[in-house]
């Protein structure tokens, strides 16, 4: 990644309140409340919780098992340190050609190595490195789109069937935030949704506890679950639906390319840009071919010459 581009991504990361703790980046999102106390968020929160950890020296015995004249053991003594995710994918790629000797591409030239792979569409080695994120401050509208990305990802999403209204929060779309009237209508709407949910849940539970077989629940826990699964039918698409999202680099690149595009829906584009900022902060080599660009509405998009690697 060029110095100018790195500076641009760093500037945006920091302007959004991005932080890095023990090598794990995060962009948190504050919680707001309506006048009656209904909680809502205005932007996605993205927290990296897991990333690769590589032990290149573990190759030692394997490399020493070849003809000494090949010079393979020197592979583990490369003086240039790479991000673990880059190191893992580079080692995987070089294993394909037993490229461990002195004529190999060294770590110093790793960026050029990955550029050759991505430009040729040879992205399979990128599937070895995975990252896990907590995504919150995202609405049901966003998650309905995000869960369509299945190849190379793992998703665990909050179940509004199993959680109570005590953790109910909502998400305000960007279009409402700078318009006083739209913002007022949003707050009124989520206040009403939260109140109707609680009223419905309370009424259903009350009838169940009186012994009415309204929800056909045998035990109290089962009753609460069935109350919640019925009450959730009232919740709008603006309801927050946090998830744990894990993806390999190839899959994450595809998501960034599709969802951080200027033609993507605005809410999911905001999420994808923040996801990219955390990824490039962690590994500027595997995500170094991307460029961050401003859009007329003040938001951003992410582009690359090497799509669909």
Show which residues are catalytic. Answer: 259
The answer to whether residues 27 and 274 touch, using CB atoms and an 8 Å cutoff, is yes
Q: Which helix (H) or strand (E) holds 259?
A: helix 249-259
Across the chain, the runs of DSSP E, i.e. the strands, are: 19-21, 24-27, 31-33, 39-41, 45-50, 130-136, 153-157, 170-171, 243-248, 291-294, 300-303
Q: What is the DSSP string of 260-291?
A: SSTTS-HHHHHHHHHHHHHHHHH-TTTTTT-E
Beta strands 39-41 and 170-171, pairing class: parallel
- CA dist 71 → 87, 108, 288 (Å): 19, 18, 31
User: For residue 123, what is the DSSP state?
Assistant: -
For residue 282, the number of C-alpha atoms closer than 13 Å in the C-beta half-sphere is 30
User: For residue 150, what is the DSSP state?
Assistant: -
Q: How many residues does the chain have?
A: 309
Crossing angle of helices 180-209 and 220-231, in 10° steps, is 150
Q: How far is Cα of residue 206 from the mean position of the Cα atoms in its chain?
A: 40
Closest of 226, 219, 298 to residue 262, by C-alpha = 298
Q: How many Å is the maximal CA-CA distance in the chain?
A: 83
The answer to whether residues 49 and 24 touch, using CB atoms and an 8 Å cutoff, is yes
């Amino acid at each position: 990644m060029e110095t100018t581009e790195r500076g641009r991504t760093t500037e945006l990361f920091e302007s959004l309140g991005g932080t890095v703790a023990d090598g794990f980046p995060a962009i948190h999102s504050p919680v707001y409340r309506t006048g009656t106390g209904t909680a809502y968020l205005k932007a996605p929160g993205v927290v990296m919780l897991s990333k690769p950890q590589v032990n290149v020296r573990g190759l030692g015995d394997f490399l020493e098992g070849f003809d000494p004249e090949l010079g393979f053991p020197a592979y583990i003594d490369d003086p240039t340190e790479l991000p673990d995710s880059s190191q893992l994918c580079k080692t995987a790629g070089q294993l394909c050609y037993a490229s461990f000797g002195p004529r190999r591409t060294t770590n110093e030239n790793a960026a050029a190595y990955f550029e050759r792979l991505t430009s040729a569409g040879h992205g399979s080695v990128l599937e070895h490195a995975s990252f896990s994120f907590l995504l919150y401050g995202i609405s049901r509208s966003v998650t309905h789109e995000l869960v369509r990305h299945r190849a190379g990802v793992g998703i665990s999403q909050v179940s509004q069937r199993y959680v109570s209204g005590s953790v109910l929060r909502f998400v305000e779309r960007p279009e409402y935030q700078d318009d006083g009237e739209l913002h007022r209508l949003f707050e009124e709407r989520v206040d009403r949704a939260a109140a109707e949910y609680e009223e419905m849940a309370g009424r259903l539970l009350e009838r169940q506890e009186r012994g009415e077989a309204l929800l056909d629940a045998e035990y109290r826990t089962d009753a609460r679950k069935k109350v919640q699964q019925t009450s959730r039918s009232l919740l709008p698409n603006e309801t927050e639906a946090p998830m744990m999202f894990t993806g390999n680099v190839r899959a994450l690149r595809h998501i960034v390319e599709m969802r951080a595009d200027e033609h993507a829906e605005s809410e999911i584009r905001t999420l994808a840009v923040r996801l990219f900022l955390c990824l490039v902060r962690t590994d500027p080599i595997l995500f170094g071919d991307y460029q961050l660009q401003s859009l007329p509405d003040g938001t951003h998009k992410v582009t690359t010459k090497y799509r669909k690697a």
